[in-house]
Structure 1
Amino acid sequence: MSSHGGWIAYQYSPSMGAAVLFIILFAVVTLLHTYHLFRTRTWFFIPLVLGGYFETVGYIGRAMSAQQSPNWTTGPYIIQSTLLLIAPALFAASIYMELGRIIVLVKGERFALVRVNWTTKIFVGGDVLSFLMQASGAGIMVSGASGFGGGNSSKTGQNVIVGGLIVQILFFGFFLISALLFQRRLVSHPSAATAADHTPWRKHMYALHTSSILVLVRSVVRVVEYVQGTDGFVMSNEVFIYVFDGLLMFVLMVIFIVIHPSEVNCLLGRGKTMTTKGGLSVSDGQMLV
């Protein structure tokens, strides 16, 4: 049914064409990441790969909803609303872990805003909190929408999701500042920068900066979406889910195909690199996460 006690799944008829397009896009890029994950043993990118599968299945849910219009059932709606919401938190976990590895690679521990052995713990800890808040908020909201949680459950769920998104924004904002400050400090010390120049650290930092901005923009739009509610402008227009969520997250995954972190991992002796260009040898070192 399209409604449950006054609840309506969508304020529009979901586009089948757009859903299928994004299923294909995410399926292709996720399969590429899966191949490179096992080939290069870049195990700390497992969360990002899982996030790619979440995105793919999420858009399958939207396609199912498009096929059902206007008599939507809750199953496909739950799939797309939950998985598309929490997938970027999985991307964030891998992004956080890469920064610590880059800092160790260039021996730039003294330039880091946060001690390296705490960097991953702090940021991934915040990411886990954000993930749990968003997932639980989605569960509460869906239970209310389905008529099982009472009239206030949907609003409570939205508030919990907003809280989780704000946590994500705060930690990602702090992460971006930390990454930018680290790079500025390293570059401002010629001896350290020169010593680090034999490693391709700059392109990996730019990948982190760009991906962080993409997640921040996406999360801000999502906050506006849930603050406005189901009758708000963002939730009432399907274009936002594709332009400010799907497209941004797809670009993020493409960035990490082009600038794959296996290069950093290999130089640390923790796996294999995707290529051997520039005389970089393939390492079968420790397989550490």
Structure 2
Amino acid sequence: MPTLEMYQGQVYLWHYVPSLPAAIAFTALFSLVTTVHTWKMIKLRMWFCVPFVIGGVFEVIGYIARVASYYSTGALGPYLIQAIFLVLPPVFFAASLYMVYSRVVRAVHGETFSLLPPRWASVIFVSGDLLCLNIQGGGSGMLSHPGQAHIGDDIIVAGLGIQILVFVAFMACCVSFNIRFRAHVVETGAARDIPWQACLNMLYATSLAILVRNIYRMVEFIMGHGYLFDNEWPTYAFDGALMLLVMIGFFIWYPSQLTPRDSTTDSMIELTSEGVVSAEHRRSVKP
């Protein structure tokens, strides 16, 4: 039976022995959803979803490291890998969500109803994401030095705080566009063939899950060696499970049906009992 071991006979890295069944289960689940995401991305050539797939790969690596930690709680390598690779995935998930918003706006030609132009929305929010990635990555790297671990925790908290602010701004942008464009649709009946509302609902659900997860992580690092740090179940309830739901939700309401229309092509979205089928119809030109 594995027991807690000290790292170099000086400090305990873990305050509990990681659950082997839970780590194996989440490794399998994230492996499955990441595989199907990769397949769907390649099949539909949705390359802006690459960050989303990378986030899934990070989750798999993180939980594999937790499996390894079950057998060696005093080893720094597995502990550090799971700490880094389980903190960063939401940053990658968010990058794809930001780009989905831009595609929703362009698909319905709703640029005038968005607080930010679609191109700038992607640039601004993804840039904020990259800033959070660098901050959290730098803080996670300091966790390998026991004497600097508390500084690393503070840096990670700062990165999470910035990410929360970016997410709140993003959700405000989505809600503003939703309200303004819905009023336009009620008045004119525009964009009836494009499931823009379903895509926005997906963004709300996934963004809220990531926001809750980030708040949990920030509270965990602020508390330090408190209840959240000393018990394992919150990690699975407020991180692993929420991120799994984000990946599942994104897969079910995949944004592949968002195709901007122009003067020569109409993108018709047909809702059937079997799913969403997209077909391109060329306009006929009369002589």
**How does the TM-score come out when normalised to structure 1?**
0.88
Q: Specify the alignment match of 1:50 in structure 2.
A: 54
Q: Specify the alignment match of 1:17 in structure 2.
A: 21
Deviation for aligned residue 1:282? 6.5
Q: Specify the alignment match of 2:96 in structure 1.
A: 94
CA distance in 1, matches of 2:131, 2:235: 23
Q: Specify the alignment match of 2:222 in structure 1.
A: 227
Q: Is 1:194 aligned to residue 192 of structure 2?
A: no
Q: Specify the alignment match of 1:252 in structure 2.
A: 246
CA distance in 1, matches of 2:142, 2:188: 50
Q: Report if the CA contact (8 A) 2:7-2:76 is conserved.
A: no
Check 1:16–1:171 CA distance in 2 against 1; reply closer, same or farther (3 A cut): same
CA distance in 2, matches of 1:77, 1:130: 22
Deviation for aligned residue 1:279? 5.5
Identity of aligned residues (%): 36
Deviation for aligned residue 1:202? 1.0
CA distance in 1, matches of 2:79, 2:259: 38
- The total of aligned residue pairs comes to 269
1:71-150 equivalences under 5 Å are 72-142=74-144, 144-145=145-146
Deviation for aligned residue 1:266? 8.2
One-letter amino acid matched to 2:177? F
One-letter amino acid matched to 1:64? A
Q: Describe the SS at the equivalent of 1:281.
A: strand
Give structure 1 regions of 4+ aligned residues with deviation exceeding 3 angstroms: 190-193, 265-269, 275-279
2:34 to 20, 25, 30: 30
Q: Report if the CA contact (8 A) 1:11-1:235 is conserved.
A: yes
Structure showing greater Rg: 2
Q: Report if the CA contact (8 A) 1:186-1:192 is conserved.
A: no
Q: Specify the alignment match of 2:156 in structure 1.
A: 161
One-letter amino acid matched to 2:122? T
CA distance in 1, matches of 2:234, 2:245: 15
CA distance in 1, matches of 2:45, 2:260: 9
One-letter amino acid matched to 1:91? F
Q: Describe the SS at the equivalent of 1:44.
A: helix
CA distance in 2, matches of 1:114, 1:266: 18
Deviation for aligned residue 1:197? 1.4
1:237 to 218, 231, 241: 231
Q: Specify the alignment match of 1:286 in structure 2.
A: none
CA distance in 1, matches of 2:55, 2:101: 19
CA distance in 2, matches of 1:44, 1:192: 33
Deviation for aligned residue 1:2? 2.4
Q: Is 1:184 aligned to residue 179 of structure 2?
A: yes
Check 1:281–1:266 CA distance in 2 against 1; reply closer, same or farther (3 A cut): farther
Structure possessing the higher relative contact order (Cα contacts under 8 Å, 6 or more residues apart): 1
Query: Deviations 1:241-286 (Å, cap 9, x if unpaired)?
Result: 10000000000000011111122258799xxx9x995652279xxx
Deviation for aligned residue 1:5? 6.5
Q: Report if the CA contact (8 A) 2:30-2:60 is conserved.
A: yes
Q: Specify the alignment match of 1:148 in structure 2.
A: none
Deviation for aligned residue 1:141? 1.9
Q: Describe the SS at the equivalent of 1:176.
A: helix
Deviation for aligned residue 1:196? 1.2
Check 1:282–1:46 CA distance in 2 against 1; reply closer, same or farther (3 A cut): farther
Report the RMSD for the aligned CA atoms in angstroms. Answer: 2.1
Deviation for aligned residue 1:220? 0.3
Deviation for aligned residue 1:55? 0.1
Tell me which protein shows more strand as a share of its residues: 2
CA distance in 2, matches of 1:7, 1:53: 30
Q: Specify the alignment match of 2:278 in structure 1.
A: 280
* Runs of 5+ consecutive residues of structure 2 not aligned to the other structure: 282-287
**How does the TM-score come out when normalised to structure 2?**
0.88
CA distance in 1, matches of 2:126, 2:20: 35
